Amino acid sequence: MSATRAARQAKAGTTEPAWVKWTLISLALGFIFLFLLLPLAAVFTEALRKGVGAYLEALTEPDAWTAIRLTLITAAIAVPLNLVFGVAAAWAIAKYEFRGKAFLTTLVDLPFSVSPVVAGLVYVLLFGAHGWMGPWLQAHDIKIIFAVPGIVLATIFVTFPFIARELIPLMQAQGTEEEQAAMVLGASGWQTFWHVTLPNIKWGLVYGVILCNARAMGEFGAVSVVSGHIRGQTNTMPLHVEILYNEYQSVAAFAVASLLALLAVATLLIKSVVEWQFEREMHAAAALPPERPTAPVVA
Amino acid sequence: MAATPFGAAGGAARKRAARRVLPGFNLTLGFTLLYLSLIVLIPLSALVLKTFTLTWAQFWAAVASPRVVAAYQLTFGASLIAALVNVVAGLLVAWVLVRYSFPGKKIIDALVDLPFALPTAVAGIALTALLADNGWVGQLLAPHGIQLAFNRNGVVIALIFIGLPFVVRTVQPVLEDTEKELEEAATCLGASRWQTFRFVIFPSIAPALLTGFAMAFARAIGEYGSVIFIAGNMPMVSEITPLIIIGKLEQYDYAGATAVAVVMLGFSFVLLLVINALQVLQRRRSGGAT
């Protein structure tokens, strides 16, 4: 009797009364409904306000198409470059000890805390008509600002740390033992990377890539500064949304925005699947029988 | 205690051995430094160098004119309020996700990252559509004289949206790791549930909460896309600092834009250092507890 009462008391001490619990849950769900779910729903309702016909018409318009194409091209350049950088930086930072490592890690994170508008501005100052390299670029007829290269550069800047930041803690936690074993067994550096390191970090890599891609396709502030908003030429999807919205073409603006919202939903979905997959592998690894059979304990 | 220096020495020796065995140090570090310099460091130093072309009086005129000061006040004030709201709401959401089970929990957990994944411009027009006088939420509030769009309220709401996941995602793992045994011990010693939360659980998650606050605040300071649609952008009233930079650029006032940008850059750098220090503190705390 006393044991069950003690147990009940302990339980009462580590959980809240049911009414507190359900109040907290309703408050949290209410907040999420108001701040996250409702805006997401608003995008699709506004896009379909005048029916499916108007929605599709807005998406098949030529300017919308060039915007979609430019967004895809930008992400296709920025993400792989940051992927290579992320893997290289994580390898250098996680696998070796050297002076200034903490400072280097901070610098890698720097673009996260710089305002996107400032990120765009720095490239204007470097490559713009009045910038440091402006006269030289003009003389050689190279356009970076108000053209595609500037958009790509600004996108690379704002998505710079995404993949490195996922990989560094992951590779640090895994240490270097497995790679050393592979090297001792005669594998080359590349073989070690492809067959030992890469399988270990694959989920972190996918995770970083999809987040990087979502930001690359959705970046607005930095790209807005360097793009010049030339319709049908230097408009990415988010910029096209802005232009349509400011021209009071609400349905068209939300139609293009709905594509970006779908991208966000897909990103969240893939991200969750990756997390569950990663957790399952961790559980499977934990459930593996120990390498040496333990002797049965004799009571 | 005596084991620590020995262990550290052993670790260093092993790391040195690793350096000999694992190839690619020069290649990866060299590439990292090159890419970092080209994309981030050289462009940012161009920004700082550009300000040196200004005299001190010009610089001061650009960064301290009344309109710019009003923009700083709005940016910092709104970011502060939004980050504080996010601390409360983020702790609530993290708590509910870690401690309770309810239908649809996995979906809610995934949804928390929506502000990371949704392009800011889309968030901006969506929130505006909701809160404008004819929107779903706006039409309920308009008869009561409450207006949330096209003024400072809108700025705060957009910044709350942007910052929420920072607090949830920093507090959630720490809350998962807190030891139930400590709470049981507190109960056995006669603490009420509230006392247990206040004196046992809260101190262990406070550093994470502070880190989340700083991250949400830092992000809010620089935010542009989601705010400009909902703010109304009236000079002196609801014009944020990044918009000042854009405005100066549109008037070809590159020097003025740069001066304001340097002020913002300096501030984000300080915040970055603070966040780093907080994370070191947090790691040391959790290391000391085990």
Q: Over the stretch B69-124, which tens digit does the pLDDT of each residue have?
A: 999 999 999 999 999 999 999 999 999 999 999 999 999 999 999 999 999 999 99
Q: Is the pLDDT of residue B13 over 60?
A: no
Enumerate the residues of chain B whose CB falls inside 8 A of the CB of residue A168.
Answer: none
Tell me if A221 and B96 make a contact (CB, 8 A cut-off): no
Flag whether residue B79 sits within 8 Å of chain A, measured between CB atoms: no
- pLDDT for res A256: 96
Q: How far apart are the first and last CA of chain B?
A: 14
Structure tokens at B194: 């509230």
**To the nearest whole angstrom, how far is the Cα of B2 from the nearest Cα of chain A?**
24
Q: Angle at which helices A237-246 and A198-218 pack, to 10 degrees?
A: 20
Mutate to test the interface with A, among B19, B35, B118 (most CBs of A within 10 A): B118
Q: Is the pLDDT of residue B1 over 50?
A: no
Contact A38, B130 (CB under 8 A): yes
Higher pLDDT among residues B154 and B10, named by residue: B154
The ipTM estimated for the assembled molecules is 0.87
Tell me if A42 and B126 make a contact (CB, 8 A cut-off): yes
Selection from B163, B152, B173, B177 nearest residue B230 by Cα: B152
What residue type is A78 in one-letter code?
A: A
Please state the separation of Cα A221 from the chain's center in Å: 16
Q: Chain B residue with minimal CA distance to A154?
A: B39
- The Cα–Cα gap between B254 and B50 comes to 9
- pLDDT for res B290: 39
User: What is the enclosing helix (H) or strand (E) of B183?
Assistant: helix B180-188
Q: Which among A13, A98, A107 is the nearest to B186, CB-wise?
A: A13
- The Cα–Cα gap between A46 and A250 comes to 8
DSSP structure string for A44-70: HHHHTTTHHHHHHHHHHSHHHHHHHHH
Q: Which among A25, A43, A110 is the nearest to B96, CB-wise?
A: A25
Q: Would you mind telling me the total number of residues written for chain A in this entry?
A: 299
Mean predicted lDDT score pLDDT of chain B: 88
- pLDDT for res B7: 41
CA dihedral A195, A197, A200, A204 (to 10 degrees): -130
pTM of the predicted model, to two decimals? Answer: 0.88
- pLDDT for res B83: 97
Model confidence band, residue B20 (pLDDT cutoffs 50, 70, 90): low
User: What is the enclosing helix (H) or strand (E) of B165?
Assistant: helix B152-177
Model confidence band, residue B9 (pLDDT cutoffs 50, 70, 90): very low
Tell me if B39 and A160 make a contact (CB, 8 A cut-off): yes
- The Cα–Cα gap between B209 and B218 comes to 14
- The Cα–Cα gap between B279 and B260 comes to 29
How many helices and strands (H and E) does chain A possess?
16, 0
Q: Angle at which helices A62-95 and A101-113 pack, to 10 degrees?
A: 160
* The dihedral sign for the CA sequence B222, B74, B236, B67: negative
Structure tokens at B147: 């207006």
Structure tokens at B13: 């020796």
Q: Would you mind telling me the total number of residues written for chain B in this entry?
A: 290
- The Cα–Cα gap between B290 and B286 comes to 7
Enumerate the residues of chain A whose CB falls inside 8 A of the CB of residue B35.
Answer: 85, 88
- The Cα–Cα gap between A154 and A227 comes to 10
Average confidence (pLDDT) over B271-283: 84
Mutate to test the interface with A, among B14, B27, B40 (most CBs of A within 10 A): B40
Q: Which among A12, A114, A267 is the nearest to B268, CB-wise?
A: A114
Flag whether residue B102 sits within 8 Å of chain A, measured between CB atoms: yes
DSSP type of residue A33: I
Q: Chain A residue with minimal CA distance to B214?
A: A113
**To the nearest whole angstrom, how far is the Cα of A295 from the nearest Cα of chain B?**
29
Q: Which among B196, B246, B268 is the nearest to A113, CB-wise?
A: B268
Structure tokens at B159: 């910044």
Tell me if B110 and A272 make a contact (CB, 8 A cut-off): yes
- The Cα–Cα gap between B151 and A65 comes to 34
Selection from A26, A228, A152 nearest residue B93 by Cα: A26
What residue type is A204 in one-letter code?
A: G
Structure tokens at B136: 């779903």
Enumerate the residues of chain B whose CB falls inside 8 A of the CB of residue A104.
Answer: 32-33, 36
- pLDDT for res A289: 63
Mutate to test the interface with B, among A83, A85, A121 (most CBs of B within 10 A): A121
Structure tokens at A20: 């507190």
Enumerate the residues of chain A whose CB falls inside 8 A of the CB of residue B117.
Answer: 211, 214, 218, 263-265, 267-268, 271
Which residues, 6+ apart, have CB-to-CB distance to B233 below 8 Å? Answer: B239, B243
- The Cα–Cα gap between A43 and A254 comes to 6
Selection from B105, B92, B165 nearest residue A28 by Cα: B92
Flag whether residue B100 sits within 8 Å of chain A, measured between CB atoms: yes
Q: Which among A132, A183, A220 is the nearest to B119, CB-wise?
A: A220
Enumerate the residues of chain B whose CB falls inside 8 A of the CB of residue A123.
Answer: 43
Structure tokens at A8: 């009940």
Neighbours of A146 (CB within 10 A): 18
Enumerate the residues of chain A whose CB falls inside 8 A of the CB of residue B273.
Answer: 106
Enumerate the residues of chain A whose CB falls inside 8 A of the CB of residue B272.
Answer: 106, 109-110, 112-113
Q: What is the mean pLDDT of each run of 10 residues along chain A (299 residues)?
A: 53 75 94 95 94 92 93 97 96 91 90 92 90 88 91 96 93 89 88 91 93 95 90 90 93 95 96 89 75 49
Percent of chain B with pLDDT over 90: 58
What does each C-alpha distance from A282 to A176, A200, A210, A275, A287 come to in angstroms?
19, 11, 21, 11, 9
- pLDDT for res B182: 86
